[in-house]
Amino acid sequence: MMIKCSRKSLFLLITVFFLNIVTAFADDPTPCTGDPDDPNYDPNACNLPLDTWVYILVAVALCYGAYKLYKKHAQPQLLNN
CB atoms closer than 10 angstroms to residue 44: 9
At 52 the pLDDT is 61
Whole-number Å distance between alpha carbons of 19 and 26? 11
Q: What is the pTM of this model?
A: 0.37
Between the two ends of the chain, the Cα-to-Cα distance in Å is: 23
At 20 the pLDDT is 80
At 45 the pLDDT is 67
Please report the DSSP string for 19-59 in residue order: HHHHHHHTS-SS---S-TTSTT--GGG-SSTTTTSHHHHHH
Whether residue 77 is predicted with pLDDT greater than 80 in this model: the reply is: no
Residue of 19 and 51 predicted with greater confidence: 19
Per-residue pLDDT tens digits for 3-39? 677 888 889 988 988 888 776 676 666 656 667 777 7
Q: Length of the chain in residues, anyone?
A: 81
